[in-house]
């Protein structure tokens, strides 16, 4: 009954004001930012967008972004009976989290889970409890290290023929948003802004999609994710933009810096995953972490040079 009430609130327009984003100021001590998530985070477009705009917007601040997203991963520890054609079960973040934190030593963690955690089935109370307990366990482990954590609600599930699973992610998102008020967590809502954008566009073009497979956002979807995070971090000029291309010309050498940041992430993400270890087969083996860090440093010098010009 509670979940039905939440959906009714949204449908009559009450959801939006309850879900107003707030602004978060990154503490001065934060230098290293770790991104955790599933294949959407591993794909990394939204990660690159966030890093690029923060770098251009605050050229005097140097953050190190570490993308440690792992495809197929959950925080719930759940997996479909025949996931990946029976080749492997979904990896559980908690099997690798301690090693990732020990290796990366982040000051701030940004975590995006939920898409895989309902394992693409209609709502079930036990699966819901598994998701909530997995998120709480993640939150508590991060806090114990002395780092801060920002949770992201899952992106929208873009399958018109499967409203049942879309509703699951509505419920999971609302619970995460509620933790702002019940536990004073830092939570950025990606889900409902993406859902509104999708519904508005689909009202004009019924074939419009943010994810061709319903799960993995396209570049527009990744930008919408990044946009909400950047707004949360106080970057106001991203509002009402549909992609990063409108912003890059506003900054000197913006396009070149974006390309360098993208190249660097593509080098380092597999190196970090390989060094920390994981149980997910069929992943690229990263170059030795020391070599990846050296290449990353060389790219950083190029970025800093462009920022000074």
Query: What is the arithmetic mean of pLDDT over 187-198?
Result: 97
Query: What is the arithmetic mean of pLDDT over 44-57?
Result: 97
Query: How distant, in Å, are the alpha carbons of 63, 68, 118, 149, 280 from that of 31?
Result: 5, 16, 34, 14, 29
User: Above 80 in pLDDT, residue 280?
Assistant: yes
Give the tens place of pLDDT for each residue, 117-161: 999 999 999 999 999 999 999 999 999 999 999 999 999 998 888
Domain count, the chain: 1
Confirm whether 20 is domain-assigned.
no
Residue that wins the pLDDT comparison between 64 and 12: 64
Residue with the two structure tokens 């800093």: 304
Rounded CA-CA distance 249/263 in Å is: 19
Give residue 17's pLDDT: 40
Query: How distant, in Å, are the alpha carbons of 43, 115, 155, 214, 240 from that of 202?
Result: 25, 21, 17, 14, 18
Percent of the chain residues past pLDDT 90, beyond the cut:
90
Q: At what angle do helices 45-57 and 219-232 cross, to 10 degrees?
A: 40
Q: Is residue 255 classed as helix, strand or coil in its secondary structure?
A: helix
Give the tens place of pLDDT for each residue, 292-302: 999 999 999 99
Query: How distant, in Å, are the alpha carbons of 51, 133, 248 from that of 59?
Result: 11, 39, 14
Query: What is the arithmetic mean of pLDDT over 64-71?
Result: 98
Confirm whether 164 is domain-assigned.
yes
Q: Smallest Cα–Cα separation from 16: which of 156, 195, 162, 243?
A: 195
Confirm whether 14 is domain-assigned.
no
Read off the tokens for 246.
């409108």
Could you tell me if 78 and 37 are in contact, meaning their C-beta atoms sit under 8 angstroms apart? no
Residue with the two structure tokens 């020990």: 102
Q: Residue 183's domain spans which residues?
A: 28-308
Query: What torsion, rounded to 10 degrees, do the Cα atoms 254, 255, 261, 267 define?
Result: -170
Q: Is residue 186 classed as helix, strand or coil in its secondary structure?
A: strand
Give the tens place of pLDDT for each residue, 15-45: 444 445 567 889 999 999 999 999 999 999 9
Confirm whether 8 is domain-assigned.
no
Give residue 161's pLDDT: 84
Rounded CA-CA distance 151/131 in Å is: 13
Give residue 4's pLDDT: 44
Query: What is the arithmetic mean of pLDDT over 281-289?
Result: 97
Beta strands in the chain (DSSP E): 32-37, 64-67, 108-112, 148-152, 186-188
Could you tell me if 139 and 185 are in contact, meaning their C-beta atoms sit under 8 angstroms apart? yes
Give residue 49's pLDDT: 98
Identify the DSSP state of 306. H
Confirm whether 225 is domain-assigned.
yes
Confirm whether 4 is domain-assigned.
no
Question: b/e per residue, 204-228, with b = 16+ CB within 10 A?
Answer: eeeeebbbeebbbbeebbbbbbbbb
Confirm whether 114 is domain-assigned.
yes
Give the tens place of pLDDT for each residue, 203-248: 999 999 999 999 999 999 999 999 999 999 999 999 999 999 999 9
Confirm whether 165 is domain-assigned.
yes
List the CATH number of the domain containing 36: 3.40.50.1110
């Amino acid at each position: 009954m509670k979940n039905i009430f939440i959906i009714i609130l949204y449908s009559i327009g009450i959801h939006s004001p309850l879900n107003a984003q707030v602004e978060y100021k990154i503490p001065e001590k934060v230098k290293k930012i770790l991104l955790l998530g599933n294949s959407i985070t591993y794909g990394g477009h939204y990660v690159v967008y966030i890093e690029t705009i923060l770098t251009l917007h605050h050229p005097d601040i140097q953050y190190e972004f570490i993308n440690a997203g792992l495809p197929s991963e959950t925080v719930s520890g759940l997996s479909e009976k025949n996931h990946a054609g029976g080749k492997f079960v979904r990896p559980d973040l908690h099997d690798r989290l301690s090693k990732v934190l020990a290796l990366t030593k982040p000051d701030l963690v940004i975590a995006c889970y939920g898409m895989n955690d309902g394992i693409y089935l209609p709502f079930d109370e036990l699966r819901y409890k598994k998701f909530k307990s997995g998120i709480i366990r993640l939150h508590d482990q991060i806090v114990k290290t002395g780092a801060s954590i920002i949770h992201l609600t899952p992106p929208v599930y873009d399958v018109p023929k499967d409203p049942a699973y879309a509703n699951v992610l509505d419920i999971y998102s609302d619970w995460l948003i509620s933790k702002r008020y019940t536990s004073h967590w830092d939570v950025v809502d990606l889900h409902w802004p993406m859902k509104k954008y999708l519904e508005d566009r689909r009202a004009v073009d019924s074939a419009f999609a943010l994810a061709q497979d319903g799960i993995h956002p396209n570049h527009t979807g990744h930008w919408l994710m990044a946009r909400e995070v950047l707004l949360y971090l106080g970057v106001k000029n991203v509002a009402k933009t549909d992609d990063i291309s409108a912003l890059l010309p506003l900054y000197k050498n913006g396009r070149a810096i974006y390309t360098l940041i993208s190249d660097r992430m593509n080098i380092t993400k597999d190196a970090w995953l390989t060094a920390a270890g994981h149980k997910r087969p069929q992943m690229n083996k990263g170059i030795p972490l020391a070599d990846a860090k050296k290449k990353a440093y060389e790219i950083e010098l190029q970025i800093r040079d462009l920022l000074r010009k």
